[in-house]
Amino acid sequence: MVAVTGGARGIGAAIGAEVVRRGASVALGDLDAAGAEAAAAKLGERAAGFGLDVTDSASFSSFLDAAEARFGPLDVLVNNAGIMWVGRFDEEPEAVALKQFDVNLHGVLRGMKLAAARMRVRGRGHVVNVASSASKIAPPGEATYCASKHAVYGYSVAVREELRGSGVDVSVVMPVVVETELAAGTSAGRGRSLQPADVAKAVADAIERPRFDVFVPRPVGAFVRALALLPDRARVRLARFAVPNQVQDTDFAARRGYEAERVGR
């Protein structure tokens, strides 16, 4: 059984559809419980939707309990839930910054701890953390979001080593800009934006053939490695050429609805 956080829409809903298509059962959890139930209803009897607040440990534990009661032992947890505020770092409200860390980082940490405890007992399992290419590349205008995703990557590296030999795998999926509500109005720079189905396929592939670093699309991994090898001046020039500046390039009017509803200002 696969459990997916942030499963009511966007990437989470697409992951649910993809893993069901490949034969798995899926539990979709979301703060929007009705949205999660509606997304699951479209997928048939091997899917179910539940309410989930990833910022609350009791809620997360109850979600996993309900998912296992419905479909059996948890094989895979996909930590997908996330939020993003875009703008100048010194204009970001403190409450908004803290909320991003609670959802994007601590939500993942809660999930990993709860899932690993269940998986270790059975000697098998897989935690897939949907982070972002922002885990490795930091676009201006997304400072706190990038910091939260850098932290997810670092935490995942450490936990992977702690779980080595336990039968529990860890993967970090790092897509570029995806056309979802979260990315509304942002720029993909010189690259192309992705569809949720692109990320869903990468997640499902990683579940079937586990690997740690999963860049979407794959050439982003080569770009990240190239940046790491360059001297600072060349690295900065290449990043400025290829990575969008979200302070300059974002359509902030297009983000108002999402940020008012999901993040706050």
Token pair 């479909």 in the structure block, residue: 71
pLDDT-based confidence at 190, cuts 50/70/90? confident
Question: What is the C-alpha R_g of the chain?
Answer: 18
Mean pLDDT of the chain: 96
CB contact at 8 A, 131 and 104: no
pLDDT-based confidence at 163, cuts 50/70/90? very high
pLDDT-based confidence at 195, cuts 50/70/90? very high
At residue 232, the pLDDT reads: 93
pLDDT-based confidence at 191, cuts 50/70/90? confident
Mean pLDDT computed over 99-109: 98
Of 77, 73, 132, 83, nearest to 109 by C-alpha is 77
Is residue 160 predicted with pLDDT exceeding 80? yes
At residue 265, the pLDDT reads: 60
Mean pLDDT computed over 80-99: 98
Residue 38 CA to residue 223 CA, distance in Å, equals 38
pTM for this entry: 0.95
- Helix or strand run (H / E) with residue 152: helix 143-163
Is residue 264 predicted with pLDDT exceeding 90? no
Least confident of 26-30, 194-198, 223-227: 223-227
CB contact at 8 A, 28 and 211: no
145, 234, 242, 252 from 239: Cα distances, Å: 18, 9, 5, 23
CATH class of segment(s) 2-263: alpha beta
Calculate the CA 105 to chain-centre distance: 10
Is residue 69 predicted with pLDDT exceeding 80? yes
Residue 103 CA to residue 50 CA, distance in Å, equals 17
The DSSP bridge partners found for residue 170 are 127
At residue 223, the pLDDT reads: 93
Share of the chain above pLDDT 90, in %: 96
pLDDT tens digits, 198-211? 999 999 999 999 99
- In sequence order, the 6+-apart residues with CB closer than 8 A to the CB of 253 are 185
DSSP assignment of 73-133 equals: S--EEEE-------S-GGGS-HHHHHHHIIIIIIHHHHHHHHHHHHHHHHT-EEEEEE--G
Mapped onto helix, strand or coil, the DSSP state of residue 210 is: coil
Residues with catalytic function: 145
Residue 53 CA to residue 106 CA, distance in Å, equals 11
